[in-house]
Amino acid sequence: MNANLVGPGPSGETPVVFGGSAAAGRLLVPEVATIIDIRDETASGDVKTFKVRMDRPEAEEAWSHLPGQCAMVSVFGVGEAMISITSSPTRGWPLELSIKRVGRVTGALHDSQAGDKIGLRGPYGNRFPTEEWKGKNLLFVAGGIGLAPVRCLIDYCLAHRDQFGHVDIVYGARSPGDLCFKDCIFNRWSRQKDTTVSLTVDKGDETWTGPTALVPMFLEELGPSPKNAVAITCGPPIMIKFTLQSLAKLGFTDDQIVTTLELKMQCGVGKCGRCNIGDKYVCVDGPVFTLSQIKELPNEF
Amino acid sequence: MPRKLDVKTLGQAQGALRAEARRLLTDGTVSVFLGHEEGWDGLPVAFFAATPEEAGRLVWNPLVAFNLAKYLLDRLAGEEKVGIVVNGCGSLALDRILKDHRFPRERLYVVGIPCTGLLDPEKVLALPDEERERVLEGGEAGEDLYLKRCGWCDAPNPVVYDTLIGDPVPDEPVAQEYPRVVELEAMTPEERFEHFKGLYEKCIRCFACRNVCPACNCRECSLDQWEPLWMGRSTGASEQLMYHFIRAFDVAGRCIRCGECERVCSVGIPLMELNDKFLKDISELFGVKRPHVPADIEPLGQFALEDPDLEGAV
Amino acid sequence: MASIPVPKATKLVPRTGLGAWIRALTAGSTVMAPVKDEGKSLFRELEPGEEDLIDLHTVHTVNSPKGAILPQTEALLTYQSTTDGEGGKSLRLEPTAGPRPVILFGVRPCDAAAVELFNNVFLTGDFVDDHYKSRRDGLTVVAVACRQPAKACFCTAFDLSPGGERGADVVLYDRSGPGRGTPDAGSGAFYAVAYTDKGEALLESSEAAAAGVAPVPAGEGQDLGRVVAAYRGLETPLGAKLGRVDVASKLDNLFESPYWEKVAARCISCGTCTFVCPTCYCFGVADCGAGGGGVRFRYWDSCKFPQFMLMAAGHNPRPAKKARTRQRFMHKLNYYHHRYGEYLCVGCGRCVESCPVGLHLPQVVGEVRGLEQ
Ligand SMILES: Cc1cc2nc3c(=O)[nH]c(=O)nc-3n(C[C@H](O)[C@H](O)[C@H](O)COP(=O)(O)OP(=O)(O)OC[C@H]3O[C@@H](n4cnc5c(N)ncnc54)[C@H](O)[C@@H]3O)c2cc1C
Ligand code: SF4
Ligand code: SF4
Ligand code: SF4
Ligand code: FES
Domain membership of residue A66 (yes or no) is yes
Nearest CA to ligand 4 atom 2: C351
Domain membership of residue A37 (yes or no) is yes
DSSP character at residue C289 = S
What is the mean pLDDT of the segment spanning C289-310?
Answer: 89
The DSSP bridge pattern shows strands B82-86 and C293-300 to be unpaired
- For ligand 4, what atom is nearest to the CA of residue C347? 3
By C-alpha distance, the chain C residue nearest A12 is C124
Domain membership of residue A273 (yes or no) is no
Domain membership of residue A278 (yes or no) is no
A4-29 burial code (b ≥16 CB/10 A, e <16): beeebbeeeeebbebebbbbeebbbb
Is it the case that residue C62 has pLDDT exceeding 70? Answer: yes
**Pair (A118, A144) in one structural domain:** no
Record: contact B266-C72, CB cut-off 8 A: no
Cβ of C120 below 6 Å from ligand 3: no
What is the DSSP track for A36-56?
EEEEE-STTS-EEEEEEEESS
Distance in Å, CA A62 to ligand 5 centroid? 23
Cβ of A79 below 6 Å from ligand 1: yes
Q: What's the distance, CA C10 to chain centroid? A: 24
If DSSP codes are grouped into helix, strand and coil, which group holds residue A82? strand
**Pair (A143, A223) in one structural domain:** yes
Cβ of B32 below 6 Å from ligand 2: no
In the sheet that holds C40-45, the strands lie side by side as: C40-45, C30-37, C102-107, C139-144, C170-174, C189-194, C9-14, C214-215
Is it the case that residue A238 has pLDDT exceeding 50? Answer: yes
Burial of B203 (0-12, 13-18, 19+ CB in 10 A): buried
CATH of the domain at A187: 3.40.50.80
Q: What's the distance, CA B217 to chain centroid? A: 12
The C-alpha angle A241, A243, A249, rounded to 5 degrees, equals 115
Total domains present in chain A: 2
d(CA A99, CA C40): 50
pLDDT score, position A10: 30
**Pair (A180, A86) in one structural domain:** no
- Nearest by CB to A11, which of C81, C313, C340? C340
d(CA A193, CA A102): 37
d(CA C341, CA A10): 10
Distance in Å, CA C66 to ligand 4 centroid? 12
**Pair (A164, A120) in one structural domain:** no
Chosen domain end from A124, A143, A173: A124
Is it the case that residue C71 has pLDDT exceeding 70? Answer: yes
pLDDT score, position B158: 93
Q: What are phi and psi of C184, to 5 degrees?
A: -110, 15
Handedness of CA C300, C303, C307, C310 (dihedral sign): positive
DSSP character at residue C332 = I
Q: Which of B290, B285, B222 is nearest to B253 (CA)?
A: B290
| Sequence-separated (6 or more) residues with CB below 8 Å from residue B249 | B278
- Chain B contact for A160 (CB, 8 A cutoff): no
Under a CB-based contact definition with an 8 Å cutoff, are residues B74 and C321 in contact?
yes
Q: Which of C171, C176, C187, C56 is nearest to C112 (CA)?
A: C171
What is the DSSP track for B115-180?
----B-HHHHHHS-HHHHHHHHTT----GGGB-GGGGG----S-SS-SEE-SPPPP--------HH
HSE-CB at A40 with a 13 A cutoff on CA atoms is 7
pLDDT score, position C207: 86
The Cα of C119 is separated from the nearest Cα of chain A by a number of Å equal to: 10
Is it the case that residue B79 has pLDDT exceeding 70? Answer: yes
- Chain B contact for A102 (CB, 8 A cutoff): no
Beta bridge partners of residue A79, listed in sequence order = A75
Is it the case that residue B32 has pLDDT exceeding 90? Answer: yes
Provide the H-helix boundaries in C29-108: none
Cβ of A81 below 6 Å from ligand 5: no
In the sheet that holds A95-100, the strands lie side by side as: A79-84, A70-75, A117-124, A31-40, A47-54, A95-100
Q: What are phi and psi of C173, to 5 degrees?
A: -115, 120
Q: Which of A217, A300, A213, A288 is nearest to A257 (CA)?
A: A288
CATH of the domain at A15: 2.40.30.10
Biggest alpha carbon distance in chain B? 67
Is it the case that residue A84 has pLDDT exceeding 60? Answer: yes
- Chain C contact for B26 (CB, 8 A cutoff): no
**Pair (A189, A254) in one structural domain:** yes
- Which has the minimum average pLDDT: A64-68, B299-303, C172-176? B299-303
The C-alpha angle C224, C225, C226, rounded to 5 degrees, equals 90
* Residues B150, B151, B152, B155, Cα dihedral to 10°: 30
Ligand nearest to the CA of residue B207, numbered in listed order: 2
- Chain B contact for C283 (CB, 8 A cutoff): no
Is it the case that residue B285 has pLDDT exceeding 90? Answer: no
| Sequence-separated (6 or more) residues with CB below 8 Å from residue A36 | A51, A52, A53, A94, A114, A115
- For ligand 5, what atom is nearest to the CA of residue A268? 1
In this structure, the number of other CB atoms found within 10 A of the CB of residue C294 comes to 17
Higher pLDDT, C316 or A81: A81
pLDDT score, position B3: 56
DSSP character at residue B187 = S
Show residues of chain C in contact with B206, CB under 8 Å.
270-272, 275-276, 302
The DSSP bridge pattern shows strands B82-86 and A288-290 to be unpaired
- Which has the minimum average pLDDT: B3-7, B157-161, C24-28, C299-303? B3-7
Residues with CB under 6 A from ligand 4: C 276-279, 332, 345-351, 360-361
The mean pLDDT of chain C is 90
Is it the case that residue B277 has pLDDT exceeding 90? Answer: yes
pLDDT band at B291 (very low <50, low <70, confident <90, very high): low
pLDDT score, position B133: 87
Helix, strand, coil share of chain B (percent; to 5): 45, 10, 50
d(CA C141, CA C113): 10
Domain membership of residue A279 (yes or no) is no
What is the DSSP track for A184-216?
IIIIIGGGSTTEEEEEEESS--TT--S-B--HH
d(CA B118, CA A17): 58
Quote the domain boundaries for residue A65.
Answer: 5-124
pLDDT, tens only, A172-197:
999 999 999 999 999 899 888 889 99
d(CA C346, CA C155): 5
In this structure, the number of other CB atoms found within 10 A of the CB of residue A249 comes to 12
Name the helix (H) or strand (E) containing C275: helix C272-276
What is the mean pLDDT of the segment spanning B181-205?
Answer: 94
The mean pLDDT of chain A is 88
Is it the case that residue C253 has pLDDT exceeding 50? Answer: yes
d(CA B220, CA B198): 29
pLDDT score, position B313: 57
Chosen domain end from A124, A156, A180: A124
d(CA B255, CA B174): 17
Q: Which of A260, A42, A40, A254 is nearest to A141 (CA)?
A: A260
The Cα of A52 is separated from the nearest Cα of chain B by a number of Å equal to: 27
- Chain C contact for B126 (CB, 8 A cutoff): no
Distance in Å, CA B228 to ligand 2 centroid? 23
**Pair (A102, A176) in one structural domain:** no
ipTM, 2 dp = 0.90
Domain ranges, ordered by start, for chain B: 7-164, 179-301
Q: Which of A299, A225, A301, A288 is nearest to A258 (CA)?
A: A288
Under a CB-based contact definition with an 8 Å cutoff, are residues A123 and A62 in contact?
no
Instruction: Quote the percentage of chain B above a pLDDT of 70.
Output: 95
**Pair (A53, A113) in one structural domain:** yes
